[in-house]
Chains A and B, each alone.
Chain A
Amino acid sequence: MLSRRELLRAAAVTATGALVPSSIRSVFAAPGGNAASAKSMIVLWMAGGPSTLDLWDPKPGRPNGGPVDAIETSVSSIHLSEYLPRTAKRMHDFSLVRSMSTREAAHERGTYLLHTGYDPNPTVRHPGFGAIVSSEVGDPQLDLPSYVALNGTAPRAGILGVAHDPFVVANPRDPLQFIREAAGVDDARGEERAKLLERREEEYAARDDEAAKTRRAVLGRARRLMKSPLLAAFDLNKEDQKLRAEYGKTPFGDACLLARRLTEAGVSYCEVVLGGWDTHRNNFAAVKNLARTLDPAMAALFKDLSDRGRLEKTLILWMGEFGRTPRVNEFDGRDHYARAWSVAIGGGGIKPGRVVGATDDDGEEVTERPVTAQDLLATACTVLGIDPRKENVSAEGRPIKIVSDGKPIEELLPEKHAGS
């Protein structure tokens, strides 16, 4: 009997609502055909709502700009905040969207919106984008999980089922925390234990119950993960330590490096979390400090992927749940602001060195080309070869499109997708 998850994978629902087998799904796939440029995605998630004016869209000399100066980048027409000197040197690897305009300025709601494209709704649990990528792009035969969260947690799979929930690596320096055998249990004993268990489970399989079968499958996959040669991807010590130092050797830097290694090993989606951005007080000192962690890691990640020839295959998206108020408050801080803010996007075939949209001189309103969370996710879908209008079905039989309304940002799409 097929599990709900298997049914979802096997079927695809077209605009007319008819169920279509996956073998011909590609006919209805992403505009421009199913030639995806990106095979994996790394999201750099800035938890708390980052002050993007002080990073990507500086306003030097204006009251709202605060003390932040603008610096040149490797792309002559683009200036970034002085807090991102190294990333500025890699501006030719990625692009900016300065006209994000979303409507959720509360942490939980904003996080939900940016990860799902939907407002939180008590009647349905929309899958986080990582779960979508795991479900659409992930290889079920891969020993490693397809959706990994590093340095923090990431949104769950909701209606797609727990198999697509994020695998959380809380500490990038000890990622194999539960993947290794327990302390004191060597390989020989581990094998003995596993054999005892296998024999016991074989007997139990005679009960012929769906639930017991699922458990055996999960145990099997867990064991395969434990014994997988791909686990080497988790070992930062296997990396050139000079390169590791370039990432900054902070937990965030290590996690970015780990994300690069994991995507190389076949993981489809990694989300690396950096928290502390909720700067209602002492904004500039806090952002400057956070940028000391962010800047080297992000620059190193782009350079590393580019040097390895992997940038084309790896989509990178830098974002938070919203931006921050252009007007500085009485505590020298900035509060939540969703009307105008920025994200950075590159790799995966995304045209680099571009700026999409703009804000006014004071950073308060978007003056051209507003972009929604849905547009952003539709863009990601397109380069990953995912049909944004594909519907997943909830347990109650409710069809939920991956992205219901948004349109991909044409200006950033690689040539083969544009104009469709």
Chain B
Amino acid sequence: MRRLAGAAVACLLFGSVASVARADDVASVATNVASVTTNVSAETRGLTRELDRTFEELWASANVAPAPDAAPGELLRRVTLDLVGRVPTLDEARAFLEDRDPARFERVVDRLLASHAFGENVADGLTVVLLGREPRLDTIDKRRFRDWLAARLDEDVPLDAIARDLLTARTDDAVAHPESQYLLLGGDPTSLAGKTARIFLGNRIACAQCHDHPYEKWKRTDFWSLAAYFQRVRREEVKEPVSAEMRKKKQQPRTINWKLHEADQGETQVPLQNGETGRPALALPRFLGGRYDLTLHGTKAPRLPALARAITVENRATFAKAMANRLFALLFGRGVVHPVDDFSEAHQPVHAGLLDRVARGLDEGNFRVKPFLRAVVLTRAYARSSVSAETPGGASEGESDATRVFARMRLKPLSPEQLARSLATATRCEKEQPKLLDRFVRVLGRNDEDDPHQVQEAIPDALVLMNGPEVNGLLAAKAGSLVALVSAETQIEKRVDLLHLAAFARTATEAERRDAVAFFTKAKAPKLATGDYLWSLLQSSEFNYNH
């Protein structure tokens, strides 16, 4: 904080703030440090204001009143989960709730965006989207890809540059160059084409692989012309050298690496449909409704760089919409267009103006993720409660309307990674995080390439959470753990507050205090009671959702 203050004051004197800092203003200005340290903040402020105006238009036109403000602890928990993939620590929660500074939320946002956990969290989600969860090739470790991507996001490398890196990767050493995994694991040209269109452009043209799309404008030839860009991707296994020992034992050499290149020749044909006769036509590169690129026909010219340019430069606006929509969905639980990868006639944006504004915001920020997310999390809309404005227990008219137009925050399920990190954080057993990650990613990590916000829980997941040894291990009073800390507290009301702060970033309600007192006084096994009480908090919907 002090470090930033110094820099801030320097910026104030020499930077873009026009007014002279008067002595009695310095104190208040210094506390607004994070919000004026860089030009980024000024630019995001503009976007935040415009987004809020657009949201208000949307709410007015839908005749929906926005939900009340989220409670401070709820908002802290929400932004911490969204940006760094875990619940706030007990100390973070206490500090935030005790902080009287009106800019406390902005400071939290900047702290989170500057943390390495930010890159990891966003990269976790994007890795599942780009590579899926199933293991595919020997020696290819998706965690390396995640780490590569996380580092890029931490450095705020623009998304279009990242996309170009993925699409034009070529290497003799895939292990050292994990960005090659997108093409390596993406399957054949038809698979890569469908995936690339869906993820980078929100276009489900893959449906047109076998037949003209039933209700969109895409034809089979459009699909196969896109697949042609990937036609020359070549993967080559690198095997370990065969030793005399292996020869004697008739052992097969293992794969130790992969090479990824684009050949300078090779074509495919558009398969004939039922009833079609004659010779199949060659599938030649042509980008989605554009003109045929003659420089790529019958030549040795590489195709993937042309594709990367087509996506990120020539169709920049579509790319911006698709990427902005995904980032928006990260924060609001659902895109302005839903499903997040299907911009079609059937799936109109909730509000065209909102889609345009977020797309333009990302584009004008040169596709950098941090400023974009910063702008969105500082909107009034992001700070709406997830509870209905109506009296509890009553489903109000237009209840689902409010969530649909982002006037009320949607409940978002936690990803397996977020759940594992949150369990470790809340119970102050950070050392258990790898074990938890391993278990939950294996059990809950089913959603291969799907929208992470469509995570659905099933019985096996619930059982692992309730009865598994990893979770129950968090409830023992080990040194440094939450249970140990809480057990040392003699007053039951204080214990209960600590537990609620750790799990939910809020203190307990009166009713919760009463129930807890009843429970703790009656507890047959007092040493285990804290663990049991904490168990119920960790199993609750309030813990398992981001709200």
Q: A residues touching B (Cβ–Cβ < 8 Å)?
A: 1, 122-123, 145, 156, 161-163, 165, 167-168, 178-185, 188-189, 192-193, 196-197, 199-201, 203-209, 211-212, 214-216, 218-219, 221-222, 225-226, 281, 331, 395-397
Contacts and interface: CB of A to CB of B under 8 A. Distances in A.
A178 B463 contact: yes
Contacts of B537: 200
Interface string B395-414: 10001100000000001010
Contacts of B395: 208
Given A165-B446, A193-B536, A218 B250 contact: no
Contacts of A201: 540-541
Contacts of B532: 189, 192-193, 196
A179 to B, nearest CB: 6
Contacts of B511: 203
Given A122-B195, A161-B456, A196-B533, A204 B541 contact: yes
Interface stretch (B1-9, B104-112, B278-286, B385-393): B385-393
Given A203-B511, A206-B392, A218-B459, A178 B464 contact: yes
Given A162-B456, A196-B519, 14 more contacts: A122-B194, A165-B458, A165-B460, A179-B463, A180-B467, A181-B467, A182-B472, A197-B536, A200-B540, A204-B542, A211-B413, A218-B458, A219-B539, A221-B459
A347 to B, nearest CB: 28
B462 interface: yes
B541 A196 contact: no
A185 B515 CA distance: 21
B207 interface: yes
The 6 closest A-B pairs by CB, nearest first: A206-B392, A196-B536, A182-B472, A222-B462, A178-B463, A162-B458
B370 interface: no
Contacts of B250: 281, 331
15 contacts: A122-B187, A123-B206, A178-B460, A178-B467, A182-B467, A182-B469, A182-B471, A184-B472, A189-B524, A189-B528, A193-B536, A196-B515, A215-B457, A218-B459, A225-B459
A188 B524 contact: yes
B469 A183 contact: yes
Contact of A212 (B523, B533, B545): B545
A205 B468 CA distance: 25
B399 A208 contact: yes
Contacts of B536: 193, 196-197, 200
Contacts of A156: 446
A94 B468 CA distance: 41
B206 A218 contact: no
B459 A215 contact: no
B225 interface: no
A200 B508 CA distance: 12
B466 interface: yes
Interface string B373-395: 00000000000001110001111
Contacts of A395: 339
Interface string B404-433: 000000010100000000000000000000
Contacts of A226: 463, 466-467
A222 B463 contact: yes
B310 to A, nearest CB: 21
B441 to A, nearest CB: 15
B168 interface: no
Contacts of A165: 446, 458, 460
B488 interface: no
Contacts of B387: 207
B279 to A, nearest CB: 23
A193 B540 CA distance: 11
Contacts of A218: 457-459, 461-462
B191 interface: yes
